[in-house]
């Protein structure tokens, strides 16, 4: 399958693939970070918004929320889920907005979709320009040096079309600025089992590198990857939440 085919060609099953994600807890955590570190404003943009589940929770919390993504079928589903939001087909590394935002989010490690360090730099600069004074940029990330290529996460969901098993795992070759998110879907019905495999190219950075890219633009707070507790990153784990307050 070509790169990102599961995301594009099988977008009908994307919400099933993410059925084990607690979107409400993630969204509420970032709302708390906005109250704690940000300007407490309610203009919100979600980068790589997919089908809009995070946007839905921010709308319900009183935000004026919008989203952008590179996949139109995903945006079509997001518009149905969140008719009061605005969605646009844009690249998170080069988007434009008509007005500044108070909070910009990028969930599910999607910042890595920038693909290269240069494009990641462009994304960070674009986010900084799009935020109002003391605006907050929140995302999660993985440290390339902590990736264990042997680890995969799987879950199964029963659907009208059959039993689906979704698996995903990071792979880093040990050097360079590229890593991959490896995905697979297995669909089992009474008649047959079908399998799809895909690999998404992602930018690979260490947290030291990432903080160095962010610090010219933001005051950076690195937290443990725990949406229930807001505690500082322990300096060792390979997953973290970043809460970045706009400078200047």
Domain count, the chain: 2
Locate tokens 């004026």: which residue? 64
Both 104 and 69 in one domain: the answer is yes
List the pLDDT tens digit at each of the 248 positions of the chain: 344 555 555 567 777 777 789 999 999 999 999 999 999 999 999 999 999 999 999 999 999 999 999 999 999 999 999 999 999 999 999 999 999 999 999 999 999 999 999 999 999 999 999 999 999 999 999 999 999 999 999 989 888 888 989 999 999 999 999 999 999 889 899 889 988 888 999 999 999 999 999 999 999 999 999 999 999 999 999 999 999 999 98
117 and 70 assigned to the same domain: yes
Among 5, 4, 3, 108, smallest CA distance to 47 is for 108
Q: Are residues 182 and 209 in the same domain?
A: no
User: In this structure, how many other beta carbons lie within 10 angstroms of the beta carbon of residue 61?
Assistant: 16
Exposed/middle/buried for residue 228 (C-beta within 10 Å: 0-12, 13-18, 19+): exposed
> Is there a single domain that holds both residue 164 and residue 73?
no
| Domain assignment of residue 88, yes or no | yes
Domain that holds residue 24: 20-143+204-246
Residue 1, in any domain of the structure: no
Beta bridge partners of 180: 171, 201
State whether 73 and 182 are in the same domain. Answer: no
Check whether residue 171 and residue 232 sit in a common domain. no
**Domain CATH code at residue 237:** 3.40.50.150
Q: How many beta carbons lie within 10 A of that of residue 79, not counting itself?
A: 16
Which pTM value belongs to this model? 0.93
- Same domain for 184 and 75: no
């Amino acid at each position: 399958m070509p790169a990102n085919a599961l995301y594009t060609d099988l977008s009908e099953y994307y919400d099933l693939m993410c059925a084990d994600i607690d979107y409400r807890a993630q969204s509420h955590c970032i709302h708390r970070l906005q109250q704690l570190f940000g300007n407490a404003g309610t203009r919100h943009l979600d980068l790589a918004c997919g089908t809009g589940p995070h946007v839905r929770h921010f709308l319900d919390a009183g935000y004026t929320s919008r989203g952008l993504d590179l996949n139109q079928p995903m945006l079509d589903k997001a518009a149905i889920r969140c008719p009061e939001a605005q969605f646009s087909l844009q690249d998170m590394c080069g988007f434009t907005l008509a007005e500044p935002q108070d909070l910009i989010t990028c969930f599910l490690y999607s910042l890595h979709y920038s693909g290269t360090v240069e494009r990641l730099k462009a994304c960070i600069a674009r986010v900084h320009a799009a935020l109002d004074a003391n605006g907050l940029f929140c995302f999660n990330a993985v440290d390339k040096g902590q990736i264990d290529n042997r680890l995969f996460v799987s879950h199964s969901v029963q659907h009208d079309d059959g039993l689906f098993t979704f698996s995903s795992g990071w792979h880093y070759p040990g050097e360079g600025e590229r890593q991959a998110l490896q995905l697979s879907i297995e669909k089992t019905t009474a008649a047959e089992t079908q399998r799809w495999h895909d690999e998404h190219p992602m930018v690979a950075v260490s947290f030291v590198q990432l903080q160095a890219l962010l610090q010219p633009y933001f005051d950076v707070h690195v937290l443990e990857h725990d949406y229930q507790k807001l505690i500082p990153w322990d300096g060792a784990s390979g997953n973290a939440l970043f809460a970045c307050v706009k400078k200047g």
